[in-house]
Amino acid sequence: MPPLLLIVGAVAGLLGAAVIGLFGNRWAAAGPIVYVVAIVALLAAGGTALLQLLAPAVGGDPTLVLPIGLPSLAGDFQLETHFRLDRLSAFFLLILGLAVPAVSLFAIGYGHHGTEPARVLAFYPLFLAGMVLVLIADDAFAFLVAWEFMSLASWFLVLAGHRADETRRAAYVYLVMASAGTAALLLAFGLLAGVAGDYRFAAIRAGHLADLAAVLVVVLTLIGAGSKAGLVPLHVWLPLAHPAAPSPVSALMSGAMTKIALYAIIRVLFDLVGPVGWWVGVILLVVGAASAVMGVLYGLFQRDLKTLLAYSTVENIGIIAIGLGLAQLFRANGLAVLAALAMTAALFHCVSHAMLKSLLFCGAGAVLNATGSRDIERLGALIHRMPVTAVAMLIGAAGLSALPPLNGFVSEWLTFQAILAGAHLPQWSLKFGIAVIGALLALTAALAAALFVRAYGIVFLGRPRSAAAAEAVEALPTMRTALVLLAAACVLFGVLPFAVVEVITPVTDLLLGQSVPRQGIASFLWFVPLPDSASSYSGVVILVAIAVLASIVVLAVHRLASNRVRRAPAWDCGFPDPRPETQYSADSLSQPLRRVFGTALFQARERVDMPPPGDRRPARLEVQLRDLIWIWMYEPVAGGLGWFTERINGLQFLTIRRYLTFMFAALSFLLAIVAVTQ
Amino acid sequence: MGHLEFDIAHLLGTMVLVLSFGLLFQRRIFGVLRTFALQASLLAAAAAWQAYVQDAPHLYITAAIALVFKAIVIPVALHRIVIRLQIHRSVETVLGVGLTMIIGVGLVTLSILLVLPVTYESGAITRENLALALSVVLLGLLMMITRRNAVTQVVGFMSLENGLILAAVGVRGMPFVVEMSVAFSVMVAFIIFGVFFFHIRERFDTLDLHYLETFRGERE
Amino acid sequence: MNAAAMAPSFESAVLQLLHAVLVLAVAPALTGIVRLVKSRLTGKRGAPLWQPYRDLWRLLRKEAVVAESASWLFRVAPYMTFAAIWLGAALIPAFTADLLLGPSVDLIVLVALLGGARFFTALAGLDVGTSFGGIGSSRELMIASLAEPAMLMVIFTVSLLVGTTSLPHIAIALLGTSVGLRVSLGLGLVAIVMVAIAENARVPVDNPATHLELTMVHEAMILEYSGRHLALMEAAAMVKLLLYLSLIACIFAPFGMALPAAGVRALGIGLLAWLAKMVLGAVLLGLFETSIAKMRVFRVSEFLAAALLLGLLAVIFLYVSKGL
């Protein structure tokens, strides 16, 4: 069966599932049916994509033209919508095929749809369908319609918990940012299609774009798709909307939808717009570094588990953007092999992050299900009550902290190698700039580890801080299976990175004409991305070596020394306190980091109100952090818009004479223009 | 000229630059004075080494002036002024220590980006030396503008001079090096006498103890 | 790069095993030397330098008392930490560059291994749910957030100089070519020494001999451990000290190291040279710790920021001197 027909069939299946989901309020079996259809559809699509990447069909990429949509403006007024499965689309479809089935399996057991499950069940398949359609779209019309479809479906999903105030605010901000983003993308595609008006990607690729137009296209795409991906400073909707949605949906919004946005950036920048200057790479680098550092710093000071994970998404998207920026810099300077290395790093991180973030959000969903709370200051000691979830979340946290031998580390390692390769660039300012970016990336990696130690340690370790945490129950078997599958896949890809690189090399071949060199038989063990630099990494060796060394130590110590254990109350330096409030809270854990980084970037202030001796009221400690991006960028814009609209509102209340005056003035103006330009 | 000679010249120059950063890092006045004395002795060593390498004996006089006057006499004099006028011992900074050092690194990068294209045809060694010296000058200026205390501002000015002298001794055959050193030293001596005799404590900021206790994290 | 000579062979496997055993055997002696030097300089007689071995043996044979609120992570963390640090130390070329597992780990992976060990230790500090563990973990996270970037900047400097991040290749390259007194390497050396002091919990960043809440970082995280768990954590700290000394010697003072396919005599010379460098490093550390006071906790961040900026300067100067 032709691959694209299979994928379109999967989309049709998803649309059918959406119809079934409408009955979710009354029919209990609708939920599992919808999710099973989603699993099957995305597995089929992902499998097709994998086949297309590893064993491509002869005769070029599969294409499909459907007789629906707008009349083509290229003269013949036929209704047609174009679809194509080229290697870049196939790669991102594969990412969807990895993340979505696991998350859907998790969602089968996840019961927090509230009182109206149909709200989620009807729109979840539509969301997935939108994402798939964006990937296979081959003309601007299909792309934009699918993009809006995806945004609106996810907006409805965010509104599933619409009774809460902050959910409504989150949905409002999301709607505004998404609409602005789509408007920017509309303009970008309009410029790409040019005066001829041919919206097919094939025609855009063949056409030639003026320099100014190319600049505008790139900037507009970065604004439109960058906002959806979560690049600072257009990220503000992400930490509001992602946590507000139900957990499986948050997992897909963070794990999959952001990757679709990155796909849009890669498609426009590396495929459609043709060669652009290296300054584009600089923009991506700067924005990426800012997103990485600010994302992780924001996340360090959050109390809500899902908001923390959303900010971590911002950080990881920043890392991917750094990789893409480096790829563009190398490409513009003709260093194709190094560009392939940087692009490989970025694409590998797309895969790693999609899986790790899905794992973490699903785990957060399990925690929310079990305890009813997202506030980490109300949790604690869940490792005793939810052992399987705890292990899976540990792997997720370790993965995003870039610890070997997990997959998060491989992409971080590749990104560092690409930064080191920046020494080959001829421009001096770029050399220094990339050194600074390297320092910022290293800072981000260290702070990400701190973020996850804090998140994991406060939620799962210690003593329970509330009754809900003390009485939590382990997640349902389907949820646990999904978590374990995702965790196992993360370990597998970390230990055998060549499997992922095999899938990435066709994509870099397509976009850059070069790829990371074939590794040969030894690639099973050692991974050497640049043969003349001899830097290598072997996940298998590290895993095996640590296992062997740990086993030797355990055996030796237990045989030769002692293996007795006695349980006793905690030592606590001789002053044990049974109350769980005496242990460190999340805010205390981040206090040193708040002192070091927060005073400059967040205007962090601590105020102590100490009552005088004799006064019995409690002392108060107040910590204040301000979101400077929101205050300096969004509030003035919103304020200005408000002022402007207040003024314009006066137009509603004019007399008839004034309206006539307006019409007269407009008429005279247009006649004057015609007279002058004649 | 062998490779080793240039390496040692650069090592000494870089240590002078690192000590400029050290001046920005210090939080106590006596620490600032000690670091400055060390910087002046290293400058003397650099001048002496250049005298040996370039076979220019008049640079030995520059080295002697730097050693005696800047490494010994001025720090001791300033030490006594600080004690005599009871100037408080901790350095009040306008920006934080970390932020000041980040700006310092930016200035070093700026001076490198400036010097390298301009001196494209000269030898590599001269370019590095000029870049180092310009960095020391800019860092001295940064120290002057980010410190509220007159004594530390004077030290900043003298470290700026150190940079100029480093540039002068590094260039082969520069005339009037000794004369420049003497002139600068006389000017600094007069500034210090002015501070001492007219009890000019601070130029625009106060002696208010309140400033000492303002930690950024704890109070406004 | 001598790729052919780096191919795995029986000799490299034997040397790798020897390496692993050697680092384990020598590490407690180094800590003993540091403590002895500190005692003698402060006018005390001090314990003999093999006392750490006796301490470890005594602790290993005691039963482990585990808090009631501790989980499996608490009991597993010492083994994970020790294994990760032991692996890292065994992979740094000490007396020879010919190690079987050399190509599987480069400098960045080494830093990540140490980060992993720290991740588990910090989690173990939070596991029992006492405030001391929290203090240790929070301060450790702050220190690590600045020490790791500084270390990576030094790694950047070295790898930009040599062209690779693989340790055996770096050692061979720095042995072979006449690098001279490179300014960048000097700055990098100062930066890595500052990072090493912070990572090994030495004065002026942390006091390894204290149990005062005001001054604890590493000690606070392992406060609840006892018996064989405590022995493993202490041993891990000792091996970590050896790791950093060995790393500094390998990059900045590699003379005496045996090249691949060298004879037994060259290996012997390499071994003696390495032991001498380790002892010298331990003595210098003891001297340094005695001559300086511990910094306030929030001055540590400025100290490490200075190390980071020195590392960045080293990279900048390397570009300046190399790209001409």
Q: pLDDT (tens digit, 9 = 90+) per residue, C111-146?
A: 999 999 999 999 999 998 888 889 999 999 999 999
Q: Is B120 on the interface with A (CB under 8 A)?
A: no
B174 touches chain A (CB under 8 A): no
Is the pLDDT confidence value at C5 over 50?
A: no
CB-CB contact of A82 with A63 (8 Å):
yes
Smallest Cα–Cα separation from B42: which of B66, B24, B65? Answer: B66
Which candidate from B10, B14, B101 shows the least CB-CB separation from C306?
B101
State whether residue B216 sits within 8 Å of chain A by CB. yes
Confidence class of residue C317 from pLDDT cuts 50, 70 and 90?
confident
Segment A509-533, tens digit of pLDDT = 888 887 777 665 555 566 777 766 6
pLDDT for A46 equals 92
Give the chain B residue nearest C308 (alpha carbons): B102
Q: Do B218 and A600 touch (CB under 8 A)?
A: no
Out of A54-63, A208-217, A561-570, C304-313, the most confident range is: C304-313
Quick check: C75 and A565 CB within 8 A?
yes
Q: Which chains contact A through at least 3 pairs of Cβ atoms less than 8 Å apart?
A: B, C
- Rounded to 5 degrees, φ, ψ at B57 are -60, -20
A435, C122: Cβ pair inside 8 Å?
no
Is the model's pTM score more than 0.80? yes
CB contact under 8 A, B217 and A604: yes
Confidence of residue A77 (pLDDT cuts 50, 70, 90): low
C306 to chain B, any CB pair closer than 8 A? The answer is yes
pLDDT in the model for residue A144:
93
Tokens representing A409? Answer: 């580390």
Spell out the residues 6+ positions from residue C221 whose beta carbon is closer than 8 angstroms to its own: C121, C122, C124, C125, C133, C136, C137, C140
Inform me whether the pLDDT recorded for A114 exceeds 70.
no
Whether C1 has a pLDDT exceeding 60, the answer reads no
Strands A565-568 and C64-67, by their bridges, are parallel
Helix (H) or strand (E) holding A605: strand A605-609
Q: Does A622 touch chain B (CB under 8 A)?
A: no
Stretch B154-172: mean pLDDT, rounded? Answer: 87
Q: What is the DSSP string of A213-257?
A: HHHHHHHHHHHHHHHHHT-TTS-TTHHHHHHHS-HHHHHHIIIII
Measured distance CA(C160)–CA(B84) in Å, rounded: 52
Yes or no, beta carbons of A534 and C103 under 8 Å apart? yes
Q: Tens digit of pLDDT for each residue in B50-71?
A: 888 888 888 888 888 889 988 9
Mark yes or no for CB contact C317/B21 under 8 Å.
no
Identity (one letter) of the amino acid at B154?
V
**Distance between CA C320 and CA C312 in Å, rounded?**
13
Query: 3-state class of A63 per DSSP?
Result: strand
pLDDT > 80? residue A57: no
In chain C, which residues have their Cβ closer than 8 Å to the Cβ of A550?
79-80, 82-83
pLDDT tens-digit readout, B99-133: 888 899 999 988 888 887 776 666 666 777 888 89
Minimal C-alpha gap between B11 and chain C (Å)? 6
Amino acid at C43: G
Q: Residue B200 has what pLDDT?
A: 52
Tens of pLDDT along A79-99? 678 888 889 999 999 999 999
pLDDT of residue C25: 94
- Smallest CA-to-CA distance from A400 within A261, A326, A292, A497 is with A292
Position C198 in a domain:
yes
pLDDT in tens, C141-172: 999 999 999 999 999 998 888 888 888 888 88
Closest residue, chain C, to A576 (C-alpha): C130
Structure confidence by residue, pLDDT tens digits, C205-263: 888 777 676 778 888 888 899 999 999 999 999 999 999 999 999 988 888 888 777 78
Q: Does A190 touch chain C (CB under 8 A)?
A: no
CA A18 to chain centre: 24
Mind giving me the DSSP string for C78-146? HHHHHHHHHHHHHTS-SSBS--TTGGG-BHHHHHHHHHHHHHHHHHHHHHS--HHHHHHHHHHHHHHHH
pLDDT value of position A22: 87
Q: Under an 8 A CB cutoff, do B98 and C301 touch?
A: yes
pLDDT reading at C320 higher than 50? yes
Q: Do the Cβ atoms of C308 and A439 come within 8 Å? A: yes
Task: Write the residue in C183, C190, C313 that is nearest to B11 by C-beta.
Answer: C183
Instruction: State mean pLDDT over A521-549.
Output: 75
Tens digit of each residue's pLDDT (9 = 90 or more) over A630-673: 999 999 999 999 999 999 988 888 888 888 888 999 999 999 99
**Residue C180's pLDDT is what?**
58
Find chain B residues with C-beta within 8 A of C320's C-beta: 112, 116, 127-128, 131
Query: Which chains have 3+ CB pairs within 8 A of B?
Result: A, C
Establish if A426 touches chain B: CB-CB under 8 angstroms.
no
How distant is the alpha carbon of residue A480 from its chain centre? 23
Give A182's pLDDT tier (boundaries 50, 70, 90): very high
Residue A599 sits at the chain B interface (C-beta within 8 Å): yes
The percent helix, strand, coil of chain B (3-state, each to 5) is 75, 0, 20
Backbone φ and ψ of A607, nearest 5°: -125, 130
Residue appearing with tokens 């920026």: A325
Using a CB–CB cutoff of 8 Å, tell me whether B116 touches chain A.
yes
* A542 touches C at CB < 8 Å: yes
Regarding predicted confidence, which is higher, A300 or B199?
A300
Which member of A453, A537, A546 has the closest CB to residue C122?
A453
Average pLDDT over residues A230-251: 92
Q: Do B217 and A429 touch (CB under 8 A)?
A: no
Indicate the pLDDT class of residue C89, thresholds 50, 70 and 90. Answer: very high
Q: Report the sign of the C-alpha dihedral through residues C118, C124, C127, C133, in that order.
A: negative
8-state DSSP, B68 = I
Taking the C-alpha atoms of residue A253 and residue A96, their distance in angstroms, rounded to an integer, is 11
CA distances from B200 to B36, B84, B152, B197, C268 (A): 21, 13, 13, 8, 67
- Tell me what pLDDT residue A62 has: 80
The per-residue pLDDT for A202 is: 85
A442 to chain C, closest Cα gap in Å: 5
What average pLDDT score do residues A19-34 get? 84
Question: Confidence class of residue A52 from pLDDT cuts 50, 70 and 90?
Answer: confident
- Look at residue A562 and tell me whether its pLDDT is greater than 80: no
Share of chain C above pLDDT 70, in %: 94
* φ/ψ (deg, to 5) at A425: -75, 145
Q: Which of residues 192-251 of A touch C (CB under 8 A)?
A: none
Nearest by CB to residue A599, choosing from B109, B116, B216, is B216
Task: Report whether pLDDT(B3) > 80.
Answer: no
pLDDT digits (tens, 9 = 90+) for A383-428: 999 999 999 999 999 999 999 889 999 999 999 999 998 888 888 8
* Helix (H) or strand (E) run with residue A260 in it: helix A258-266
- pLDDT-derived band at A111 (thresholds 50, 70, 90) equals low
Are B82 and B29 a contacting pair, CB within 8 Å? yes
Question: What is the distance between the alpha carbons of residues B42 and B165, in angstroms, rounded to a whole number?
Answer: 12
d(CA C236, CA C242): 10
| pLDDT over threshold 80, residue C4 | no
Domain that holds residue C23: 11-322
| Domain count of the fold of chain C | 1
d(CA A422, CA A434): 7
Question: According to the model, what pLDDT value does residue C322 have?
Answer: 67
pLDDT value for B197: 62
- What is the residue whose two structure tokens read 């809006």? A148
Least confident of A204-218, A248-262, C40-54, C179-193: C179-193
User: Of A240, A366, A206, A339, nearest to A280 (Cα)?
Assistant: A339
* Cβ-based contacts of B217 with chain A (< 8 Å): 594-595, 599, 604-606
Lowest mean pLDDT among A75-84, A535-544, C247-256, C285-294: A75-84
Closest CA to C122 of A454, A584, A587, A386: A454
Q: Tell me the C-alpha distance between C6 and C97, whole Å.
A: 9
Q: What does the alpha-carbon distance between residue C37 and residue C26 come to, in Å, rounded to a whole number?
A: 17
Contact C190 B131 (CB under 8 A): no
CB-CB under 8 Å, C116 with A582: no
Q: How many CB atoms are closer than 10 A to CB A113?
A: 18
Partner residue opposite C101 with nearest CB, options A445, A545, A590: A545
Q: Nearest C-alpha of chain A: how many angstroms from C132?
A: 7
Amino acid at C173: A
Distance from CA of C183 to the nearest CA of B (A): 6
| Nearest CB to A565 within list C63, C101, C133 | C63
Position with higher pLDDT, A512 vs B174: A512
What is the per-residue pLDDT for A200? Answer: 84
In the predicted structure, residue C198 carries a pLDDT above the cut 50: yes
**Residue A442 at interface with chain C, using a CB cutoff of 8 Å:** yes
Tell me which residue of A542, A501, A539, A543 sits closest to A520, measured CA to CA.
Answer: A501
> Identity (one letter) of the amino acid at A166?
E
B80/chain C closest Cα distance in angstroms? 25
The yes-or-no verdict on residue A70 having pLDDT over 70 is: no
In the prediction, which pLDDT does A318 show?
96
